[in-house]
Amino acid sequence: MTDCIDLICSNNTARLLEWLSEDSASRWETLTSTLRQLVTKRHDVSRFICENARLLGTGKVVSINKLFDDDCLNEVAAGLGSGAIYGAAQGCPLVSEEQSEIAGYRFDDFIQVLETACGKVESEVAFSAVVECLRHRRTEMDKLLLLLAKTIKRCDDRAVRITTAIGALSQVYNHSADLSPIVFFLRDMWSLDVQESHNVSKMTLISAALRLHTSILTGTTRFSECDSGIQVANLVCCWRSDLFSWTSQICIYNDRANTCQLDSTSLDDALCCFSLLTDERSVIPRVYSIPCLASMYIKVAHVLAFNIHYDAHSSIIILLETAIVMLKQSGAGIAYSVPLSAELIVALLGCCYKPSTAERLADILDFLIQTTEEDTRITLFGRVASSCNDDTSLSLCLGIFSRHVLYNNNDAQTRTISVLKRLCERVSSDVRRFPRTWSCLLSWLESLKTTVKCGSNASRLLLDLNKSLSVLVSQSGLEPRFVDNVQKFLNE
């Protein structure tokens, strides 16, 4: 017993391990019994428990690789593992995989002992101990999060502690069976009085909740609660307060690079807004007008459409069809309620490669385009056509706009033919890549022939286009089926 106390007080881990190795099971029982007895009485015992939390909490001894000549640097490397909380943990682990476990290890009430010890030592020491245990004693995450919250409340530098704790929690929350302790911890941290100038800790909490929600929605994290996704979304909604401002500020273009543990992306924002807009258990305020709600639905769909590496086709359709129904039922200022842009149309056309959703998306685009003014449609058509890069989206673009672009005057005809001429020059360099586009293009040009007045600007532009097509037929070595199509158009 005396030897055990001396080893604890000296905090010499190497000597302690030697002492344990002589009779592991018996001496481990002596060690834990001594810690239970003295933790409330002696500060040095409490400090020993906190500084050796990983050993006491897991019963495992990990040898540190000698990556550097400096022992201190080796300890830092071991503490970081394969990645810091500010970066993705990738590559080979820095800590040796050789772990030896103390024979007869058992410490069922370790968290209770640790909690007592944390109350006896400096808040910084206690914080490090709890975070270390959070990483390695994940089955008791609920108890550790309560202890972590209590410890952070003791700290003067709460903002830094919250950010660090969230980084650690983000690495292990998928090991928790229940969501409730995590939500309780996040809410508790949000309510703390934190003195900081840039709200870093608040933004860290929001980002963590957004990433948690995404992991639930995509199925990478599962909890016992059936409503876990909307629980987290509602939490973020309470923090964000104004859903309209939030959706307006979401960046459309998502950074697909590896983000660090403390960052969220526009996709995370969009998925959370999707849950809030479509789940009847959502706590969003019921104060928004129909046009305002419709614009939010369309903006979120726009962001999801640009993140095509995440399969959100069904979500996009739900959002847009709901927005259209709302606008039709309200009957108020549809043309001014739809925030339509060329980028949105291109994004939706890019989602039409799936036959199961292409028809519904085409119907949605039909409605959205017909809500715009006639003059705007030609401008939209030019921008969209120049941005489509594959045969599916480009042929759909031509098919949809050909039904809605009206050319009842010379100016409209000239602008339309100008767009078609540029498109023709573009696809003629690789006709085999754009077979459907080529057919749609010739069909539209053919219908224009009967409406163009002889001698007009549109007529001259169409004549130039005919000459270009004649040269293409004679020089490019097109496949017979394409030659026949062009020749038929030229001869009519």
Q: Which residue has the higher pLDDT, 139 or 274?
A: 274
List pLDDT tens digits, range 248-278.
999 887 555 555 556 778 889 999 999 999 9
Going by their DSSP bridges, the two strands 60-64 and 95-101 should be labelled as antiparallel
User: Is residue 436 over pLDDT 70?
Assistant: yes
List pLDDT tens digits, range 478-490.
667 777 777 777 6
Low-confidence winner among 142-146, 347-351, 407-411 (lowest mean pLDDT): 407-411
CA dihedral in degrees (51, 53, 54, 55; nearest 10)? 90
CA distances in angstroms from 334 to 207, 277, 292, 369, 425, listed in the order given: 34, 20, 11, 11, 36
User: Is residue 16 over pLDDT 70?
Assistant: yes
pLDDT at 1: 62
The rounded distance, in Å, linking the Cα atoms of 141 and 145 is 6
DSSP assignment of 112-180: HHHHHHHTTS-HHHHHHHHHHHHHH-GGGHHHHHHHHHHHHHH-S-HHHHHHHHHHHHHHHGGG-S-SH
Helices (H), 191-265: 200-217, 228-240, 243-249
User: Is residue 18 over pLDDT 80?
Assistant: yes
Phi then psi dihedrals of residue 97, to 5 deg: -75, -10
Closest CA to 209 of 227, 226, 231, 178: 231
Q: Answer for the pair 164, 131: CB distance below 8 angstroms, yes or no.
A: yes
User: Is residue 99 over pLDDT 50?
Assistant: yes
Low-confidence winner among 92-101, 218-227, 427-436 (lowest mean pLDDT): 92-101
Among 3-7, 109-113, 169-173, the range of highest mean pLDDT = 109-113
User: Is residue 101 over pLDDT 90?
Assistant: no
Low-confidence winner among 312-321, 326-335, 423-432, 457-466 (lowest mean pLDDT): 326-335
The pLDDT of 369-391, averaged and rounded, is 90
Radius of gyration of the chain (CA): 32
Environment class of 314 (CB within 10 Å of its CB; exposed 0-12, middle 13-18, buried 19+): exposed
> What mean pLDDT is reported for the chain?
85
The pLDDT of 159-177, averaged and rounded, is 91
DSSP assignment of 11-76: T-HHHHHHHHHHSHHHHHHHHHHHHHHHTTT-HHHHHHHHHTHHHHHH-EEEEEP--SSSHHHHHH
List pLDDT tens digits, range 72-87.
666 666 555 544 444 4
List pLDDT tens digits, range 275-306.
999 999 999 988 898 888 998 999 999 999 98
List pLDDT tens digits, range 331-363.
755 555 566 789 999 999 988 888 888 889 999
With pLDDT > 90 as the criterion, what percentage of the chain qualifies?
A: 41
User: Is residue 316 over pLDDT 80?
Assistant: yes
pLDDT at 259: 55
Provide the pLDDT confidence category of residue 430 given band limits of 50, 70 and 90. confident
Low-confidence winner among 85-99, 180-194, 317-331 (lowest mean pLDDT): 85-99
